[in-house]
Chain A
Amino acid sequence: MLTAVLLFLPLAAALLLLFTKGAATRTLALGASLLEFGLAVYAAFAFKTTGSASFNLNYHWIPSAGINFHIGLDGLSLLLVLLTTFLVPLILLSAFKHNYDNSSSFYALVLFMQTGLLGVFVSLDAFLFYFFWEVALIPIYFLAGAWGGERRVAVTLKFFLYTVVGSLLMLAGFVYLYLQTGPAAGSLAQHSSELSAFYNLKLSASEQSWLFWLIFAAFAVKMPIFPFHTWQPDTYTEAPAPATMLLAGIMLKMGIYGTLRWLLPVVPLGVSQWQKPVIILAVIGVIYGAIIAIRQRDMKRLIAYSSLSHVGLMAAGVFSLTQIGLQGAVIQMLAHGVNVVGMFFVADAIERRTGTRFIPDLGGLTRRTPILSVCFLVMLLSTVALPLTGGFVGEFLLLAGVYQYNAWVGAIAGLTIIFSAVYLLRMFQRVMLGPDSSFSETITDLTGGELLILAPLMVLVFWLGLFPGLFLSLSEPAVTNILGLVGR
């Protein structure tokens, strides 16, 4: 029941929002998202760490087809639910800094999106998973398309088509798997789309080989993995800042999570067959994203490519199929979510003050903005994976996993830390330090409200960096469970 409340509270709030105006809108949106976070924290305390899901809810959804509304939380889901519910209030707060037209629709779409995202993380039925997977896409399409930058129409259309084509392929894969299942106990339907039914399938290696790509297509586009990434930099750049944060901070994790839950254990033979090409693609993405990031002069675009580079490493860690690599991916999902939201927020804060995010136009901002500089630097160093920060723990574990798979690949992937230091510190140097620009004297420092957004992010950066054990212990049984299924 708790899971259902978690899932539908944002949706209910979103519907209510449409009937409110002015200050009430902000209060309601923020209040609902904070309540939601409180519920998620409560769920975390009430949670008993086991390999299987707790807080299960299972209803017949389409009885004649054996499709159930089955949701539940295991350690992995719980961490992502915590991440989502933690980030959404902050993203809403950052949206308050802008005076968007039709703001009640904007906030309603953000909350609607939250329901979609949470649905993806808690679904235990394949078609329910697909359902929420697409539900998450609709609001972000409108957020990016209606409130985005100049080239928004073409860019969001490309984004929409890419992701929908990917998900349709996944759906085709699911339908095939579904038709292979037998009836569930106590059901009139001939087939079942339960996750457990998929886990119990015995498929030949050749079937799994092509099923792998059908299902992986959706995840590869969403993460995105090189060469399915071409929608990503444009969309991140054109979308309004809060939508970019949703995309990079949470939506990207749908791809990693989907791979962990719906790909590795479902078609293990396909995974072992394609492990090598996928890791190579992922590592190419790591290097490619980093090299392009060095050349960027738009802060948002630079962060977008940096995100592309980092997600490549997460994918490589997942496909190393080692305990340490998977655990690294889990921690890095959290750390990256926090980092990238922080980075985009800082970029947005600078753009709101100066009216530009073009790096050559900026410079020497730090004198007037000591607090902003410190926050920026913390987020940046965590993204670079400096020890003590969350990014370090995640990347270290990921690299250890990839290294276990293959030392050479691990070494090449390790270049990411050097590269990201290069492009991020260069950006910092040119924007905050360097010769004065026309804004150096006039720019104002972070306000208390803005600090309120960055402070929780920074707390989490250090928490993840200093005491990752709490998070790792939550996800460990789930990860062990997944690896056990992969090795079956």
Chain B
Amino acid sequence: MTSIILLSVFGILNLFLGFLRSNKVLLPGAMLLLLAVFGANYADWNVVHAPYFNNMLVVDNYTVAFTGIVLLTTILLLPFSRSYVVSGETNLAEYYALLLFSLVGAIMMVGYDHLLMLFVGIEILSICMYVLAGSNKRDSRSNEAALKYFLMGAFATGILLFGVALLYGATGTFALSRLAAAVANPANATLQPMLYIGILMMIIGIGFKVSAAPFHFWTPDVYEGTPTFFTAFMSTVVKTAGFAAFLKLLAVALPAAQGFWMPTIQAMCALTLLLGNVGAAAQTNTKRMLAYSSVSHAGYLLIGLVASKGMLTGDAASGIFFYSLAYSIATVAAFGVLKLVAEHRQDDSYAGLNGLGKTNPLLAFTMTVAMLSLAGIPLTGGFFGKFFLLAAAVGQGYIGLVVFAVVMSMVGLYYYLRPIIAMYMQPAPADATPVPVDGIQTVTLIVLALLTIILGIAPGFLSGIL
């Protein structure tokens, strides 16, 4: 709760700091504020709080854990915003403020205990993201991305809201715990069609937000057009919060309707893995590849939902936490490097990365670690993320799905190796100069690589915490 209040206050404060128009103050300021929020959030770990706002919002370990991921991700992402100032961008303070506000939405999505709170959270997050997607005002691709994202997003929110209404109609409540009781109550059996349509619509709505197939088609275009910095935010924070909300919805409110949603989620999962991985393999542009890769990772996370079997604790929930963390860190690293390189070389295809190992060893190394982590190779956090999730699913007996996921991750190897090949095994262009990287970015790149490796070597301290 403190984190929500702090973020709202800091967001407004940031707007006022805008008159400084200097990233020298704004960036460290925003990072410090976020670190303070991170600390406040951490202080809530293992502390029992009464629910807030008439039982609409709960702060438990689940909330704290996922809030921690989105905050950490944002802190690590911020240093890569820097060049916006260099290129004469004037509205930097507003972007930072929007980022902070969107985090409020993300935390509400994680901590909701009431469907209205979920809706409000999703809307806060989404509206900020619509604006940020179009923040590169003079670029038509950015405008296109914002429009596409807004139309699709608004459509999805509409469906979600319709689902909420139907659920309310079937059960007479918005509160998760009372929903669960009402769904489990055999007396409500006659209302089942309404209930099931409501659940389906909610799954579709959230499926849009986390870009799970078949509701992922907007992802590549929007990711490509959006300024890379905000793409990174979209594919990490939005996805993490979305999955935390998804798991909570299925596990707390709808465990009794498992017979209905389980096959739906399984089908979505298989389809997402297939379309995400096969789509990514066909790309030649690193940013589009990362967009499809983020779809494929939604697929792996959906396995966690399947394996959770309607439980908010245990192997699968811990697996989703670990996976989201490892995925977010690796994705921030990948997008961060890509942004620096693409801005310098004006090329975001694989060829744009050629010879980076020679010109910028640190960038190339961080990118390599990120790619290996996303591919799930040992020594990186991504391996243990996949391992925990898939082991949990095998433990629940979903062998077929896991085999399919493993086959798909073999496809993943192919496209994650391509940036690595470009960086280390292709010569740099003749006129290539080192990509300029400032001090704080250097530190962040090292931290990102180290965090990924630490998660890959000593996962014990974060595994099984939920």
Contacts and interface: CB of A to CB of B under 8 A. Distances in A.
A146 interface: yes
Given A64-B463, A168-B406, A134 B379 contact: yes
Interface in B378-412: 378-379, 383-384, 387-388, 390-391, 394-395, 402-403, 406, 409-410
Interface in A313-338: none
Q: Give the 3 A-B CB pairs with smallest separation, nearest first.
A: A64-B464, A134-B378, A62-B460
B377 interface: yes
Contacts of A152: 425
A9 B463 CA distance: 28
A164 B390 contact: no
Interface string A56-71: 0000111111000000
Contact of A164 (B358, B388, B413): B413
B35 interface: no
B357 interface: yes
Nearest to B424: A146
A146 B425 contact: yes
B379 A62 contact: no
Interface string A199-240: 000000000000000000000000000000000000000000
B279 interface: no
A153 B425 contact: yes
B459 A62 contact: yes
Given A61-B460, A168-B409, 12 more contacts: A65-B391, A127-B387, A131-B378, A134-B383, A145-B425, A152-B425, A153-B425, A157-B421, A160-B417, A171-B387, A172-B402, A179-B394
A123 to B, nearest CB: 12
Given A168-B409, A172-B406, A153 B460 contact: no
B357 A146 contact: yes
A16 interface: no
B379 A145 contact: no
Nearest to B409: A168
A174 to B, nearest CB: 10
Contacts of A61: 458, 460
Nearest to A137: B377
Contacts of B421: 145, 153, 157
A160 B424 CA distance: 15
Interface string B342-364: 00000000000000011000000
B425 A130 contact: no
Contacts of B358: 102
A319 to B, nearest CB: 27
Contact of B460 (A60, A138, A161): A60
Interface in A128-144: 130-131, 134-135, 138, 142
Contacts of A135: 378-379
A138 B372 CA distance: 9
B248 to A, nearest CB: 22
Interface string B305-331: 000000000000010000000000000
A179 B318 CA distance: 18
B460 A165 contact: no
28 contacts: A62-B384, A62-B460, A62-B464, A64-B318, A64-B460, A64-B464, A65-B464, A102-B358, A127-B387, A131-B378, A134-B377, A134-B378, A134-B379, A134-B383, A138-B372, A146-B357, A153-B421, A157-B414, A157-B417, A161-B413, A168-B409, A171-B387, A172-B403, A172-B406, A175-B394, A176-B394, A179-B391, A179-B395
A236 B198 CA distance: 59
Interface string B171-204: 0000000000000000000000000000000000
Nearest to B376: A168
Contact of B424 (A131, A145, A161): A145
Given A131-B378, A134-B378, A138-B379, A62 B463 contact: yes
A102 to B, nearest CB: 8
B461 to A, nearest CB: 9
Interface in A147-163: 152-153, 156-157, 160-161
A72 B128 CA distance: 55
A23 B337 CA distance: 32
Interface string A39-75: 0000000000000000000001111110000000000
Nearest to A142: B424
A302 B430 CA distance: 37
A95 B230 CA distance: 45
A440 to B, nearest CB: 36
A158 to B, nearest CB: 11
Interface string B437-466: 000000000000000000000111001100
B262 to A, nearest CB: 21
B463 A138 contact: no
Contacts of B425: 145-146, 152-153, 156
Nearest to B456: A131
A357 to B, nearest CB: 22
Contacts of A130: 378
B139 to A, nearest CB: 34
A402 to B, nearest CB: 34
A137 to B, nearest CB: 8
Nearest to A169: B406
A102 B425 CA distance: 13
A168 B405 CA distance: 11
A171 B464 CA distance: 20
B377 A164 contact: yes
Contact of B410 (A62, A127, A161): A161
A65 B425 CA distance: 38
B356 to A, nearest CB: 12
A171 to B, nearest CB: 8
Contacts of B460: 60-64
A134 B379 CA distance: 8
Contacts of A172: 402-403, 406
B373 to A, nearest CB: 12
Contacts of B409: 168
Contacts of B388: 65
B391 A175 contact: yes
A143 B266 CA distance: 41
Contacts of B414: 157, 161
Contacts of B384: 62
Contacts of A131: 378-379
Interface string A465-486: 0000000000000000000000
Nearest to B390: A175
Nearest to A172: B406
A344 to B, nearest CB: 22
Contacts of A168: 406, 409-410
A156 B379 CA distance: 20
Contacts of B464: 62-65
A266 B388 CA distance: 23
B203 to A, nearest CB: 29
A60 B383 CA distance: 18
Given A64-B460, A153-B425, A157-B417, A165 B410 contact: yes
A311 to B, nearest CB: 25
- Which of A62, A138, A172, A176: most chain B Cβ within 10 A? A62
Nearest to A127: B387
Nearest to A63: B460
Nearest to B377: A134
Contacts of B463: 62, 64-65
A171 B383 CA distance: 12
A146 to B, nearest CB: 5
Contacts of A164: 377, 410, 413
Contacts of B459: 62
- Which of B372, B390, B414, B421: most chain A Cβ within 10 A? B421
Nearest to B421: A153
Contacts of A138: 372, 377, 379
Contacts of A156: 425
Nearest to A18: B361
A157 B391 CA distance: 28
A178 B403 CA distance: 16
B84 to A, nearest CB: 33
